[in-house]
């Protein structure tokens, strides 16, 4: 990887000031002779100890951002791959984010309604492009000088026509705790109404100066929003009008079907408060009592259940997976594996291929995320996996790459197969050796326990 320094040139882009370092990426000001406008370069953080999710989320943004258009997203300019220096270059929005607003809360009701409507319009435009943002919050919303809200940071987003790498590789939910929708907490990432919940949480914060569910840092705390309703906004700020409370509490409903059906309808309500249909939500003055809360939490008839089948936005397609050991240079086995995959893919034109590699972790000792050359191990495996699959010639969207970090390779592969509905797993057989006698056969374990078809390939002698 290249260490970026102000004044240096990368693929024609002159590196300017370092503007921001976030949890998963750094932002640099850059210029290019072919572009008159201000540009922004986003670079993932790959230093020792960084979360592997930073790599996967960056891959997602690299896939999603070029597919987006319109005034509500930054214009995509260029990107660089992991084999040299990963980066994304995009339009630099001249306006400020909404983040400074939280330093002076609560905000005037008319201002909150106007901001909410602009953001809802931006979400409507995004949803029409088959994307759920899944990280709507003040710092990810900018305002153009022309007035449009701009959504940024698509690292946690879900595109209905692309594989969801975040869902496939990580079991814990990713997002920003105060704004995560209940279904997102439960691992469902495909419902556009999750963004309406997040916007409702932001409106609540701007109106009252208090976050509706606090800022929990553990999964148990996040799950409380499934059964514990927030304090009504009018109980925290008496001058909050009933129509605004109605809108906010409707956004914060636990069940997605009880929220606004679309972001466009939410924007309409915020633009036309006199036409908002008021329900019991509008006059509510206190949280539900503990009896109702306990029923929702523990009684089987009252527990919230999320139907994944309803939430999924893409048509079912068979998933074909291949387990590749890039550490063993066996060209004959690689060629046989690829040949087997080509034959299977030819019979399944709608199938997607997931290329898997397991980066083994120590059971007791601490693991370094960097190799002896200072390179990120996860990234290096990702690059090697992509090189291995390049001869297949599959287009982006039909092939994905996953580096699984685990102590036990067989268990990691089994978990992936089970959690992602893999239909057929292909893998190479380990050659007869002392290592195989001592450790056993991963392929044999998978063939015995995987809930799908398993094809074990041997190289021709």
* Residue 439 predicted with pLDDT over 50: no
What number of CA atoms fall less than 13 Å from residue 437's CA on the CB side? 3
Query: Would you mind telling me the total number of residues written for the chain in this entry?
Result: 461
- Interval 177-201 mean pLDDT: 96
Residue bearing tokens 């046989």 = 336
Interhelix angle 409-419/442-449, rounded to 10 degrees, is 30
CATH superfamily of the domain spanning 9-91: Phosphorylase Kinase; domain 1 (3.30.200.20)
Confidence band of 398 (pLDDT split at 50, 70, 90): confident
Order of strands, sheet of 9-10, starting from the edge strand that comes earlier in the sequence = 9-10, 13-21, 25-32, 35-44, 87-91, 76-80
List pLDDT tens digits, range 108-166: 999 999 999 999 999 999 999 999 999 999 999 999 999 999 999 999 999 998 989 88
The topology under which CATH files domain 319-457 is Rossmann fold (3.40.50)
- Worst-scoring range by mean pLDDT, 67-81, 233-247, 388-402? 388-402
pLDDT of residue 121: 96
Q: Which CATH architecture has domain 99-311?
A: Orthogonal Bundle (1.10)
pLDDT of residue 307: 63
Residue 234 clears pLDDT 90, i.e. is over it: yes
pLDDT band at 168 (very low <50, low <70, confident <90, very high): confident
Tokens in use for 242?
């009933």
For residue 225, name the pLDDT band (cuts at 50, 70, 90).
very high
Record the pTM: 0.82
**pLDDT at residue 171 in the model:** 75
Kindly state the percentage of the chain with pLDDT values over 90. Answer: 64
Lowest mean pLDDT among 89-103, 126-140, 388-402: 388-402
- Give yes or no for residue 97 having a pLDDT over 50: yes
Q: How is residue 162 written in tokens?
A: 């692309």
What integer pLDDT is reported at residue 391 of this predicted model? 95
* DSSP β-ladder status, 76-80 and 87-91: antiparallel
What pLDDT is recorded for position 438? 41
Calpha distance 214→205 (Å, rounded): 10
- Among residues 243, 180, 235, the alpha carbon closest in space to that of 209 is found at 235
Over residues 122-131, the pLDDT tens digits come to 999 999 999 9
Res 206: pLDDT: 98
Per-residue confidence band for 312, with pLDDT thresholds at 50, 70 and 90:
very low
Q: Count CB atoms within 10 A of the CB of residue 272.
A: 12
- Say yes or no to pLDDT of 204 above 60: yes
Alpha helices, DSSP H only, in 225-330? Answer: 233-236, 242-251, 263-271, 280-283, 290-298, 308-311
Q: What are phi and psi for residue 267, nearest 5 degrees?
A: -60, -40
Tell me what pLDDT residue 458 has: 85
pLDDT at 304: 78
| Residue 56 pLDDT greater than 60, yes or no | yes
pLDDT of residue 430: 67
- Provide the Cα torsion 403, 406, 407, 412; round to 10°: -90
Contact yes or no for 195/134 (Cβ under 8 A) = yes
Helix axes 242-251, 263-271, angle to 10 degrees: 170
Helix and strand tally (H, E) in the chain?
17, 15
pLDDT at 313: 39
Position 443 scores a pLDDT of 81
Q: Are 178 and 215 in contact (CB under 8 A)?
A: yes
> Helix or strand or coil: residue 53?
helix
Tell me the domain boundaries of the chain: 9-91, 99-311, 319-457
User: Residue 316 pLDDT more than 70?
Assistant: no
pLDDT tens digits, 259-298: 999 999 999 999 999 999 999 999 999 999 999 899 888 8
* pLDDT classification of 28: cutoffs 50, 70, 90: very high
Share of the chain above pLDDT 70, in %: 93
> What CA–CA distance (Å, rounded) separates 109 from 240?
7
| Mean pLDDT (the chain, rounded) | 90
Cα(75)–Cα(89) distance, integer angstroms: 9
Burial class (CB in 10 A: 0-12, 13-18, 19+), 300: exposed
Of 207-216, 258-267, 309-318, 415-424, the poorest mean pLDDT is in: 309-318
What CA–CA distance (Å, rounded) separates 134 from 48? Answer: 27
d(CA 251, CA 245): 10
- C-alpha 110/C-alpha 196 separation (Å) is 19
pLDDT at 364 over 90: no
Judge whether residue 437 has pLDDT over 70: no
> What is the predicted pLDDT for the residue at 79?
96
User: Closest by alpha carbon to 335, among 346, 324, 345, 327?
Assistant: 324
Per-residue pLDDT averaged across 17-40, rounded? 93
Q: From residue 165, how far is each of 26, 399, 423, 450 by CA, in Å?
A: 21, 11, 17, 21
Written as six digits, the tokens of 259 are 């929220």
- Cβ neighbours for 39, distance < 8 A, ≥ 6 positions apart: 13, 29, 30, 31, 32, 77, 89, 90, 91, 92
- Reduced to 3 states (helix: H, G, I; strand: E, B; else coil), residue 398 is coil
């Amino acid at each position: 990887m290249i260490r970026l320094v102000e004044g240096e040139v990368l693929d024609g882009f002159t590196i300017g000031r370092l503007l921001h370092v976030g949890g998963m990426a750094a932002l640099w000001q850059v210029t290019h002779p072919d572009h008159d406008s201000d540009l922004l370069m986003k670079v993932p953080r790959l230093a020792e100890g960084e979360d592997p999710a930073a790599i996967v989320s960056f891959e997602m943004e690299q896939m999603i951002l070029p597919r987006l258009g319109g005034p509500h997203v930054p214009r995509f300019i260029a990107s660089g791959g992991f084999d040299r220096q990963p980066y994304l270059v995009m339009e630099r929005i001249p306006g400020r984010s909404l983040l400074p607003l939280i330093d002076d809360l609560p905000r005037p009701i008319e201002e909150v309604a106007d901001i909410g409507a602009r953001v809802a319009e931006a979400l409507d435009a995004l949803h029409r492009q088959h994307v759920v943002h899944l990280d709507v919050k003040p710092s990810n919303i900018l305002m153009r000088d022309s007035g449009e809200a701009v959504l940024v940071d698509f690292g946690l987003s879900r595109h209905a026509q692309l594989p969801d790498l975040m869902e496939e590789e990580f079991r814990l939910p990713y997002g920003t705790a105060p704004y995560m929708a209940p279904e997102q907490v439960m691992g469902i990432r495909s419902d556009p109404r999750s963004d309406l919940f997040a916007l409702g949480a932001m409106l609540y914060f701007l109106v009252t100066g208090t976050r509706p569910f606090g800022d929990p840092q553990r999964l148990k705390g996040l799950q409380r929003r499934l059964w514990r309703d927030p304090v009504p906004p009018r109980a925290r700020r008496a001058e909050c009008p009933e129509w605004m409370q109605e809108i906010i509490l409707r956004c914060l409903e636990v069940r997605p079907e009880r929220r606004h059906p679309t972001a466009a309808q939410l924007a309409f309500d915020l633009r036309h408060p006199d036409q908002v249909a008021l329900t019991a939500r509008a006059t509510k003055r206190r949280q539900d009592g503990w009896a109702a809360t306990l029923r929702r939490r523990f009684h089987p008839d009252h527990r919230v259940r999320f139907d994944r089948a309803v939430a999924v936005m893409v048509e079912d397609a068979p998933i074909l997976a291949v387990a590749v050991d890039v550490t063993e240079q066996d060209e004959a086995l690689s060629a046989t594996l690829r040949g087997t995959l080509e034959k299977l893919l030819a019979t399944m034109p709608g199938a997607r291929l997931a290329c898997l590699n397991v980066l083994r972790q120590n059971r007791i000792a601490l693991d370094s995320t960097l190799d002896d050359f200072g390179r990120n191990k996860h990234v290096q495996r990702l690059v090697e996996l992509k090189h291995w699959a390049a001869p297949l010639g599959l287009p982006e969207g039909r092939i994905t790459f996953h580096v699984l970090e685990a102590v036990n390779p067989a268990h990691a592969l089994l978990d992936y197969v089970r959690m992602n509905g893999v239909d057929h797993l292909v893998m190479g057989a380990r050659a007869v050796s002392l290592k195989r006698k001592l450790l056993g056969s991963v392929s044999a374990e998978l063939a015995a326990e995987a809930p799908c078809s398993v094809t074990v390939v041997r190289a021709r002698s």
